[in-house]
Amino acid sequence: MRDAFIEDHRATWPIAIPCRVLVVSRSGYYEWRRRPVSEGAKRRTSLTAQIRKLHVGHHASYGSPRVHRELRARGEAVNEKTVAKVMREAGIRAKSQRRFRVTTTDSNHTQPVAENVLNREFTANQRNQKWVADITDIATLEGWLYLAAVLDLFTRKVVGWSMSERIDSRLVVDALEMAVSRELRVPSERTGAGLLAHSDRGVQYASEHYQGVLTQHEIECRLSRKGNCWDNAPAESFFATLKKELVYHESYASREAARASLCEDIEVFYNRERRHSALV
C-alpha cells in the first residue's frame, strides 16, 4: 500500500520525500515498480475507474449500495463489500449535507379535510393508483422559490411539478394539472377514477381550488393526520433527496437559475436515471 501511494503521488512530490516519510527505501520502491502488475491489481484499478465514472455520472449522489446495484445491472460481477471498500480507499462518497428549512405546511385553517385512508401503505400495484404530493422551499439570493411535486407510488417518478415565488393554491394545482395531463391518457375525459391523491393537510391542498380540480377529474382526495410528516413519507423523502444531492451544493443567484437546475435534475436525472431504493 505504501509503494502504491508513492506511485500515485509521483507527480506531486519528489520520490525521496514520501519514501522518507513512509519509511520506504527507494531501492525497494523501484523494485516494486519493476514487478509485473498482478491480475488482482488490474481488476481493482479497472473497478475503481468504473465506480468513479458512475459516481460522477450520477451527480456524486450514489453510495456503495446503489453503485453496486448499478454495476450488477451492467453485468459486472462484484461483491457489495468490495465496492464499499474500493470507494472508501479511493475517497469516493455520496453527497450528504443538511441545512435549515422553513415550514411550508399551514394546517391551521377552517377548510374541511379528508381522512387518512392511505395509512402509510406506500406501495401500489400499477401506475396512477396512488399519488402523493407535497411542497418544499428552495433558497435563492432573490428569495424563496417554492416547489410542489406529485409522485406516483408505483413508478416513484415525479409525474407533476410546479415552481413559484408564492406558496398558494395555484402552485399545487399547477403540479396536479401537469400530472393529470401526463398520466391520464384520454384528453377528452382526463378521468382519474380509482386514483387516490394523498398530501398533507396544508391550506393549499384543502383549498376549494385544489379540491375542485380533484373532483373534476374524479380523483379521490386523502390527507395526512395533523402534524404527522410520516403519513406522507415518500414525498418528504423525495425532497430530502433532492436537497441533499443537489440544492445544498448550489448557490442560486436567482429564482430562474434555481428553476433551470431543478427542472433538469427532476426530468433528466431523477425520473430517467436515478436508481430508486424503494423499487429494488
Sorted by where each starts, the structural domains of the chain and their CATH numbers stand as: 2-90 (no CATH), 130-279 (3.30.420.10)
pLDDT tens across 129-161, in order?
A: 999 999 999 999 999 999 999 999 999 999 999
pLDDT tens across 80-93, in order?
A: 888 888 888 777 87
pLDDT higher than threshold 80 for residue 192: no
pTM, whole model, 2 decimals? 0.61
| Long-range residue pairs from 248-256, CB within 8 A, at least 24 positions apart, any chain | 248/95, 248/97, 248/98, 248/99, 249/95, 249/97, 251/141, 252/138, 252/139, 252/140, 252/141, 252/145, 253/140, 253/141, 253/142, 254/140, 254/141, 254/142, 255/140, 255/142, 255/143, 255/145, 255/163, 255/165
d(CA 275, CA 280) in angstroms, rounded, equals 8
d(CA 68, CA 77) in angstroms, rounded, equals 9
Average pLDDT over residues 204-221: 92
